[in-house]
Every structure is written in C-alpha cells, then in structure tokens.
Amino acid sequence: QLLFDKTGFGFTFPYSQQRPRSKCKRRSRNCRTSPLGLSTVNLNSGAADLITCSKTSKTGTGQRVQEIRSACDRLWNLLLGRNFRRHGDYHLWSAVMRTHFDRAWYVKRRHVLDIFKLWNSRWAEVNKCVQRTENCKQQHCIINPENVVVSKKLEEFLGGGPKYCVNVKPSRVDVFSDIQSIARVVDSEEKLAFVEDAVGRMEKLMGNAYPIDRRNFKDVRAVKQELERSSLKLLQTDKTGRFAVLPVQAFQKKSEEALGSLFNEWKGNIGKLRKSICKVFLEESMKEVAKSVLKPLRSTLNLKFFLKDHKIEMPLRTVVNENGTWQKVVSCFLQRGLKLANLEKPIALKNSSELIEVMEKFHGRKCTILSMDIKDLYYSLEKSRLMNRVRIALEGNLIKFQSGTGLAVDSFLSVLDLYLKSTVLEYEGRKFVQKEGVCIGSSVAPLLAEIYLNTVDQQVYDRVEELSPKCFVKRFVDDILVCSVQEGLDQVLEQVIRSAAPEPRLTVERPRGEVPQFLDLRLHLERGLCWEYGKVNPKPVLSKSSCHSKNVKAGVVRSLISNALVRSCMHFGPEALKNQWDRLVMAGYGEVYIQRQIALQCREKKRATQEIRNRHAVAPHCHEASHNPRACAKKYGVDVVFSTDFGLDG
C-alpha cells in the first residue's frame, strides 16, 4: 500500500485486490471506490494551506502539481500497463480526481480571497488606529511656537487641555466637610443618621490611601516649578482649546503689542466714578443697590491673554473679566433693565436651530451664499449713537421698564454712562481703558451690541422683503449670512447691508469651492443647499480620563450625537454622526459606552413622567470617593450634584 499525500489530497493505491481499510471511520459523501479498490479521500479543510499570490508561490504550486501527475502516471503504468489511459478505472479515477481538485482549488482560492479581504480590512483598521493615535497625540500636545525644551512629563500633564480635570484624592477633612455640606440639606430629624451612615461608608473605603488633612498636589507643583525654572509662561489657545508655552521675554513683547493696539493707559480716579454711581442710586431711593456697590470689592477688571494659534504670527488676544469687582454689581443691574428694551429682531439669531428653520424652505435648491463679518464689533460701537439708540429702545417699553428697574430712563442712562467710563483694567501695576467702543469683557456688551444693531436689522429686513422672497439674511452677533436663489441677488443684498450699516467695517467671504462655515453648521452647495453639524477644526472633546462626573461625560456624548442627528439635513446626517462618533472615540470613549448612552437617552425620552427632587446639594467630584455620599443622600431624599474644582484652566 502506498500513501501519497500532497496539496491536501489523500490517495490510496492498493497493490493487491484486497480493499484497504480506511483510517477514517466516517467516509465523505464524495468518496468513490473503483472495481480495482481505488479510493479517494475528500479534502480535509483543516489541512488546507494558504496559497499566496506571489510569483514564487505560483511557480512552486505548478511544480508540485506536475510532480503529482507524473507520480500518478507511473503508478497507473505499474498497475495496468502502458495502455492504462484506455482503462475504465483510470477514467473513473480521473473524473473523481478532477472533481476533487477543482473543489479543493475553489476552496483554497476562496480562503485566500477571504484572507486578503480580512487583511485589507484589518490593515485599514490599523491605519485608522494609527491615524487616530496621531490625531490624539496632536490633540493632546501643547503649542510651542518658540520650540523651547520641556519635559515629557509636563507635556503629558498639560496635554489634556484646559478643561481636563486632574484626579486629586481628597483628604479625610475634605470628605467630612463634603458630608457636612450635604447634611445641611437633609431633614433635621435624619441629619445625624445620614452623617453616621456616610462616614461609616467612607471609613471602609478610604483606609490609609487618603491623606489626613491636606490634598496632595505633587504633580501640579512639579509642573509649576518646571515652568518657573525654565522662565516659561503658560497660556491657553484661542481656537483649538489647548495649552501653549512661551518664553517670558516673548510673552512680554506680545502682551505689550496686544495692549498697545486696543488700550490706553489711564490716570483717572476710579473711586470718584464709584461714588457718582452710588449717588444716582441713592437719589432714586435704591439704598440696597448702593450698599452692594460700596462693598469692599476690587475696583479694576481682570485681564487674561490667549494665544491666537490659528494665525501665522500667533499674537495674543486680550480677554477681560469683571468677576469679583463692584462693576459686576452695576452691570448685573444694567442687564435687568436692558433686557426690558423693546427690540424687534427680524434677522437676529439666537442659535443655529433658528437658522435651520429658515433654511428648510431652501433645502436642496441651487443658491448663492456669502458671509459678512463686522470687524471688531464691540470696539466700533460709537458712544453717542449707542446712547441714543438705547434711549429709543427703553422708551418703547417705558412702563414695563420703569416698573422693573425703579429708575427713570435718564437716571438709567447716567448709570450706564458712568459704568462705561469705569471699566478700567489693571496689568502689572498700570491701569488701562479701552480706546474706543464698549469694553469687550463687560457683561452688558452683548446686549448693547444687539440694541446698536437693531436699527440696522430692521432696515435690512424691510429692504429684503421688498426685493424678493427668494433670499434671506440672518445675523448672529457679528456674523451675517446672505443666501439667495436668484442669480446676482447676493450682490444687491451686500450693498443693502453696507448702506444700512455704514459705521462698522464689514469683510465679505465668498465660498471658492470650500464648504462655508456658519455657527456650528457646515453649508454644502454642490447639489443644492444642505447643512451638516460640525466644524472643520473643532476643539478636542473632554477626555474620558478626566476627573469629571459620569453625568458630565454622558452629557457630552449625548449632546454631540443628538446635535449631529438633529442639526444636520437628511443627506449629511450619517456623515455628521460618523464625524462626532470619531471625535468621541479619539477622546477615549469606547464604542460600547457611546451605544449605551444613546440607548439610555432614547429610553429616557419615552418616559412619561420623571421623579422631581426638590432638595439639592453640591459637592466636589472625585473618583472612588464622591459616589458613596451621593448614594447615602439619595436615601434621605437629597440629590447631590458634583462640581469640578480642579480643572487645569483654574
């Protein structure tokens, strides 16, 4: 008996008429036996080898097939003689062999193709993962315009961005303080039981791993010390939401340029302006407001610099904040009055949802789009014209305004005028005021800008209604969008806007093959007007490893997914969903986690009623330590909301 096995076939050739005993207990249905006792065994799928498509493998396979054929011919010659090709058994064997060979070749070819498809798909996934890793590295790196040398530890620590929250374990004193703050909201009869329950649970959890009296800010101090040793200044970027480092000398030069372009040094008396504002309130019998203004608060506004990393020169942008000052008290009072102004907002937008409602009428239609930008809006608000327009807007709703504020229009305008003069900021011992316009960090600046542009909005709206219903003009703060279906109408609308607003400087952008961006929507014009939620270069999503609460991270996922579906048209909804999905995956959110949040969101929408809790408490969030007091508080009818106290931007 001779056993010859190559390329996965098993051939058994007997030398006697006795039929050989098969090793397989179970024969294949394709096994056939000749009168001479010749049998063939079906291909064993487990023994199939991988045949590559290279030239070497093809040549080797052909040689092995020729060897098999010549060996078979020699065996048949020994069995039947030279004329074996005329024998019936040979013809039967040839048919069986050809059938098995074709099947084996088909199976092997199919396996090879499947393996190549699987390899290509996995290679695409590998490339995608590599690209995703590179994007993650790019997102989780700091901006270094001067290419200064920083340690890898510093770069990794700051790579999460300003919104990243570090996990600093609370001390035992901090945990007990949080429990006491929650206990203030619990009923007095159950307060003692809650404290004992929460303290008992935390004692079992903490052990010796938590500090006794102070938190451990070792990593934060190490980064701060390295920046001081290297004479580096840490900044936030303006557009990309990342950190940047600059040498102190370069920062001082850029900061002087930024201050000199927008501010003048001020030598006035801020205390005198403060007393004048209090005098107006006292004359109107508003003693409580006057007392709050006279509280020992700071008298100058805060100043912060951001790096404009989207520009080649990378200049600094000044950001003014009035929190913690007595000007903040005055601005909050002014806000209540300005919100009562009579404004008709025919073309002003609150958000992109209002724009989508307008664009629904033009969906799929060929149109022309241009965007206009009011350059330096807050700096271009001319004061005399602004005060006149504020007076007209307040007198249009006089009764409601006077009953809501308790001031006459003239007194209110006096307070507003004094407040605009008192928006003084301090930097390195020097005081500055803005050269022109309204201070960009003022809380009332957005409302004043809306009142200032309301007259322009009315003129543009009336003119657009006269021209044609085949167009629309919408404005969001300082960005104006013009869309027209009729050819050449966009140029007419541009002239209408320029004539209605001659004071501010307007810049025009026309799409030249690229996809225009307005608010958080990308407008596609190739096959008619369509829109897609998202931006070309969005800020990085909050990292999954950040020490934020689970509710915050779940809210990030749900917000991005729902906006991609709701704020995209039917043609670009899948693409917007894929882009937001990729952003979440790059931020560390697993696909299973994203799917679960979507399912939970859909389930919550189906609920008819939800339980309403009347009592809330706020406590700092920390991994492994915050959820136990929260679980205890739920037993006593208190819902705990977590705050983030250790963000890197603070």
pTM over 0.85: no
CB 639 within 8 A of CB 616: yes
Of 90-99, 444-453, 529-538, the poorest mean pLDDT is in 90-99
Q: Report CA dihedral (438, 444, 450, 455) to the nearest 10 degrees.
A: -70
Q: Which amino acid is located at 607 in the chain? A: R
Pairing status of strand 232-237 against strand 479-484: unpaired
pLDDT band at 650 (very low <50, low <70, confident <90, very high): low
DSSP state, 362?
Answer: G
Phi, psi of 440 (to 5 degrees): -70, -20
Q: Is 519 left (phi over 0), alpha (psi -120 to 50) or beta?
A: left
Residue 29 has pLDDT above 90, yes or no: no
d(CA 274, CA 301): 14
What pLDDT score was predicted for residue 103? 62
The H-assigned helical ranges of 433-572 are 445-467, 489-500, 550-566
What pLDDT score was predicted for residue 118? 66
For the chain, give the mean pLDDT.
81
Strands of the sheet with 521-524, listed across from one edge? 517-518, 521-524, 530-533
Identify the helix (H) or strand (E) that includes residue 92: helix 88-139
Residue among 470, 463, 466, 497 nearest 486 (CA): 470
Distance of CA 129 to the CA centre of its chain: 19
d(CA 319, CA 506): 23
Other CB atoms closer than 10 Å to residue 528's CB: what's the count? Answer: 14
Domain spanning 344-381+438-535 has what CATH number? 3.30.70
Phi, psi of 71 (to 5 degrees): -65, -40
3-class DSSP state for residue 56?
A: helix
What pLDDT score was predicted for residue 35? 37
CB 398 within 8 A of CB 470: no
Residue 63 has pLDDT above 80, yes or no: no
Residue 365 has pLDDT above 80, yes or no: yes
Residue 254 has pLDDT above 60, yes or no: yes
- pLDDT (tens digit per residue) in 637-647: 888 888 877 77
What pLDDT score was predicted for residue 51? 38
Residue among 553, 539, 649 nearest 220 (CA): 649
Enumerate residues 6+ apart whose C-beta is below 8 A from 451: 338, 341, 343, 386, 389, 390, 393
pLDDT band at 109 (very low <50, low <70, confident <90, very high): low
- CA dist 449 to 321, 386, 552, 645, Å? 18, 9, 33, 33
d(CA 258, CA 177): 44
Residue 454 has pLDDT above 50, yes or no: yes
Residue 22 has pLDDT above 50, yes or no: no
Q: What mean pLDDT comes out for the span 420-441?
A: 91
End-to-end CA distance of the chain: 86
Strands of the sheet with 263-265, listed across from one edge? 263-265, 430-434, 425-427
Q: Which amino acid is located at 248 in the chain? A: V
CB 460 within 8 A of CB 474: no
What are 613's two structure tokens? Answer: 């809790």
Buried b (16+ CB within 10 A) or exposed e, 545-564: ebbbbeeebbebbbebbebb
d(CA 353, CA 465): 22
CB 563 within 8 A of CB 577: no
d(CA 139, CA 130): 14
3-state SS, 154-196, equals HHHHHCCCCCCECCCCCCHHHHHHHHHHHHCCCCCCCHHHHHH
Q: Which amino acid is located at 246 in the chain? A: L
Residue 607 has pLDDT above 70, yes or no: no
Of 38-47, 224-233, 511-520, 565-574, the poorest mean pLDDT is in 38-47
What pLDDT score was predicted for residue 393? 92
Q: Comparing 12 with 309, which gets the higher pLDDT?
A: 309
In terms of average pLDDT, the best of 142-151, 416-425, 466-475, 498-507 is 416-425
CB 183 within 8 A of CB 194: yes
What pLDDT score was predicted for residue 307? 93
Strand partners of residue 5: 10
- pLDDT (tens digit per residue) in 152-191: 888 888 888 888 888 877 878 888 888 888 888 888 888 8
Residue with tokens 């429990």: 179
Q: What percent of the chain has pLDDT over 90?
A: 37
What pLDDT score was predicted for residue 6? 37
Q: Report CA dihedral (240, 244, 246, 251) to the nearest 10 degrees.
A: 50
What pLDDT score was predicted for residue 476? 94
- pLDDT (tens digit per residue) in 371-384: 999 988 999 899 99
What pLDDT score was predicted for residue 359? 94
Q: What interhelical angle do 573-586 and 550-566 show, nearest 10?
A: 160
Q: What mean pLDDT comes out for the span 85-106?
A: 74
What pLDDT score was predicted for residue 108? 56
Q: In this structure, which long-range contacts are made by residues 149-156, counting pairs with CB atoms below 8 Å and at least 24 apart in sequence? A: 149/230, 150/226, 150/230, 150/232, 150/245, 151/226, 153/222, 153/223, 154/223, 154/226, 154/227
d(CA 148, CA 146): 6
CB 309 within 8 A of CB 296: no
What pLDDT score was predicted for residue 585? 93
Handedness of CA 423, 426, 431, 437 (dihedral sign): negative
Other CB atoms closer than 10 Å to residue 405's CB: what's the count? Answer: 21
Q: What mean pLDDT comes out for the span 246-255?
A: 94
Residue 579 has pLDDT above 60, yes or no: yes
What are 471's two structure tokens? Answer: 């167009």
Q: What mean pLDDT comes out for the span 266-280?
A: 92
Q: What interhelical angle do 172-183 and 191-206 show, nearest 10?
A: 160
Q: What mean pLDDT comes out for the span 88-95?
A: 81
pLDDT band at 309 (very low <50, low <70, confident <90, very high): confident
CB 600 within 8 A of CB 609: no
What pLDDT score was predicted for residue 19? 41
Q: What mean pLDDT comes out for the span 196-224?
A: 79
Residue 1 has pLDDT above 70, yes or no: no
Q: What mean pLDDT comes out for the span 23-41?
A: 39
Residue with tokens 């000199």: 260
User: Where exactly are the structural domains of the chain?
Assistant: 2-128, 140-167+217-338+395-406+421-436, 344-381+438-535, 550-643
Q: What mean pLDDT comes out for the span 558-571?
A: 94
CB 451 within 8 A of CB 395: no
- pLDDT (tens digit per residue) in 5-18: 333 334 433 333 34
What pLDDT score was predicted for residue 49? 41
